[in-house]
């Protein structure tokens, strides 16, 4: 049940990277749900399988750990097994601004036991990213559709450019509960409630090994920069953190009451 009557506490977990990211979610999420009074958990899982892509097996591991909804991004197609998720898993969301006819779903309303219904919309930016349909115009149409079912809507904008994330949040201010950025793997310090009642964080950071370069082993990345020669970027192992944001949402209006960054160290 919700920790406070009239309140939905939604935990958004930043990009989960490889086995270390999945491990820290397994270790910490049950206790975080209890301690923070979390109603629902949305996590970006596009890097959950070996640091690039996601599979039915890695998704199942995260769902079993307590994640309710998984979003994705530009690494969506890195594993061919993702087709099974796109076709058969209603808790898995891909960017909605793929062209019509692309397998999967870009938004959905979820109904969990003891929690008011809530919508999740996944979008991908276009600045310094693979070209997709316009996320701004599509977001307005998708949000209008979701609001017919619930005022509680969380948007994962998977994008490189901070300006694009901020602009989307300003566009949707007052229409959604939260706009949370993913993709850069660097947690920003700009959490805020916009004038219309929408919570915003430019980037949730990443969940996985932080003694790294964005989750990858340091030496191969340095060799790539120093020599320009191809390198195999293995997932790092040291200093795991679970990063994201906790959003306190009024269940009647869908407006955010508070947002706080989360950065929890692993148990081992």
pTM: 0.94
Tell me the pLDDT band of 268, cut-offs 50, 70 and 90: low
Q: What is the mean pLDDT of residues 113-128?
A: 95
Domain membership flag for residue 2: no
Residue 71 lies in a domain: yes
Nearest to 110 by CA among 202, 8, 239: 8
Tell me if 57 is assigned to some domain: yes
Domain extent for 22: 7-265
Residue 1 lies in a domain: no
Residue 118 lies in a domain: yes
Of 41-45, 77-81, 98-102, 264-268, which gets the smallest average pLDDT?
264-268
Query: What does the pLDDT look like over 203-229, one tens digit per residue?
Result: 999 999 999 999 999 999 999 999 999
75 is catalytic: yes
Residue 18, CB-side half-sphere exposure with 13 Å CA sphere: 19
In a domain, 182, yes or no: yes
pLDDT at 2 over 60: no
Instruction: Confirm if 267 and 209 have CB atoms less than 8 A apart.
Output: no
Mean pLDDT in residue range 150-171: 98
Number of domains forming the structure of the chain? 1
CATH number at residue 122: 3.60.21.10
Q: What is the pLDDT of residue 6?
A: 84
Establish if 150 belongs to a structural domain: yes
181 in any annotated domain? yes
Q: 36-94 pLDDT, tens per residue?
A: 999 999 999 999 999 899 999 999 999 999 999 999 999 999 999 999 999 999 999 99
Which of 75, 183, 185, 210 is catalytic? The answer is 75
The whole-chain average pLDDT of the chain stands at 95
Sign of CA dihedral 129, 69, 262, 19: negative
**Would you state the structure tokens that stand for residue 100, as one six-digit string?**
């019509």
- Where does the pLDDT of residue 4 fall: very low under 50, low under 70, confident under 90, or very high at 90 and above? very low
DSSP 129-185: S---S-HHHHHHHHHHHHTTT-S-EEEEEE-S-HHHHHHHHHHHBTTBSEEEEESS-
pLDDT for the residue numbered 267: 79
DSSP 35-97: HHT-SEEEEE-TTTTTTS---HHHHHHHHHHT--EEE--TTTTSSTTHHHHHHH-TTB---TT
């Amino acid at each position: 049940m919700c920790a406070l009557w009239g309140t939905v506490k939604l935990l958004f977990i930043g990009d989960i990277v490889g086995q270390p990211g999945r491990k820290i979610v397994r270790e910490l999420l049950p206790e975080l749900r209890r301690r923070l009074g979390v109603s629902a958990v949305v996590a970006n899982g596009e890097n959950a399988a070996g640091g690039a892509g996601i599979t039915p097996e890695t998704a199942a591991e995260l769902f079993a750990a307590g994640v309710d909804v998984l979003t994705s991004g530009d690494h969506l197609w890195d594993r061919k097994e993702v087709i099974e998720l796109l076709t058969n898993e209603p808790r898995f969301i891909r960017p909605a601004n793929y062209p019509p006819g692309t397998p999967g779903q870009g938004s959905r309303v979820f109904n969990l036991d003891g929690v008011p219904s809530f919508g999740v919309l996944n979008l991908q930016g276009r600045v310094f990213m693979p070209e997709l349909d316009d996320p701004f115009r599509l977001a307005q149409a998708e949000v209008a559709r979701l609001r017919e079912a619930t005022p509680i809507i969380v948007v994962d904008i998977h994008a490189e450019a901070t300006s694009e994330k901020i602009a989307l949040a300003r566009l949707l201010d007052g229409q959604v509960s939260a706009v949370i950025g993913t993709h850069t793997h660097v947690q920003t310090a700009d959490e805020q409630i916009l004038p219309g009642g929408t919570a915003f964080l430019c980037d949730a950071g990443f969940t996985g090994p932080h003694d790294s370069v964005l989750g990858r082993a340091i030496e191969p990345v340095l060799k790539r920069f120093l020599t320009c020669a191809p390198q195999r970027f293995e997932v790092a192992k040291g200093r795991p953190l679970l990063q994201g944001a906790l959003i306190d949402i009024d269940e009647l209006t869908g407006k955010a009451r508070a947002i706080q960054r989360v950065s929890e160290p692993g148990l081992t």
